[in-house]
Amino acid sequence: MPPAAARRKDFTGFRMRVQYCAWSKITAFQASRPFIVKADISMGFASLTHPARGSKIVPIVATLQRTFSVTTTVSSTHHAAPRVHPAGVRPSLEIVPFDAPVGAEVLGLDLNKPLSAEDFARIHRAHLDHHVLVFRDQRITPAQHIEFSRRFGPLQIHVLHQFQLPGHPEVLIVSNIRENGQPIGLGDAGHFWHSDLSYKEKPSLGSLLHAQELPSEGGDTLFANMHLAWDTLPEHLRKAVEGRSAEHTYLAKYAELQKRSPWRPNLSAEQIAEVKPVVHPIVRTHPETGRKALFVSEHFTTHIVGLPEDESRELLEALFAHSVRDEHIYRHQWAEHDLVFWDNRSLMHLAAGTPDHLRRKLYRTTIEGNAPF
């Protein structure tokens, strides 16, 4: 650690300032607020980590010949800038894992530029390893968003066609904004823990959510690692679910959500036909990694096949509670133009909520997966 004179902390107005000496390659300390700051001087960046809120990457700016400093505002709207690189040097693609049960940030990626097969392969591998990838400051069009998503597989169209982005049916608008008295998007998406499209015969491989307009507070997204949920499941629960399957249906909570949000549209007969109940194994095997994960959620899973209703409900409640223990969760705080890509075969997610008077809008694509086994 550098001498005390080389370090200082200032929390005025939630602002944190840390000064590092250049000859100290790595320094770290636990701040009086629950944030950990780590800096790698040779690489020119610092990582801010909060136990519940996840990590942010901020640049280290040279202030003196032998001294570096970093200043950041700790809030949900802080824009985590990419690391600083020497002029004229193109950053290489780097994967920086979060200090959390899931998640990593991909540095050096600009989806406005062609993506090589080698870099795509690294992103694919990182997605399998970390389950949630965060691409910062992606100022891309919906067409580019769709193009990148399609590299992972065919895209799925959400049953609520009312909230498709005009001209781009592959994009679902997730938003609480109303125009002319009508919602422009699905405002209560993610109200319950779920895995996207688990109610389909071929549930989603993954989803990519791109920030368009963010609130000044709230709007976080939580991700639960369902591989960890299975790995840590008590033995009596493992035995109870072994070889069993459960029903998933899009309609499970639909009426309840309509009561909470009256603007949520009634489904047509054609839409209901698109979302007939399906049965999937309670424990699924990831088709690419072979890892097992729990595959039930409070939003779409209705009952366990072959069990009496009371036993099914009791067992599902135990699985739901275990899945979302704090030690399984990463909480993502959105920054402007974030693109977040998560693996629905490995995770559940939840929207933490946004105050009604604040505007939030994101665009989502969803990649088709395989039938769970």
**Catalytic residue chosen out of the listed positions 127, 158, 194, 286:** 194
Residue 364 a catalytic site member = yes
8 by Cβ neighbours in 10 Å (0-12 / 13-18 / 19+) ranks as exposed
The amino acid at residue 297 is S
**Catalytic residue chosen out of the listed positions 196, 220, 338, 343:** 196
**Catalytic residue chosen out of the listed positions 53, 264, 280, 349:** 349
Quick check: 74 and 80 in contact, CB under 8 A? no
d(CA 94, CA 226): 25
Residue 310 a catalytic site member = no
Could you tell me which of 339, 344, 345 has the C-alpha nearest to residue 80?
A: 339
Which positions are annotated as active-site residues?
194, 196, 349, 364
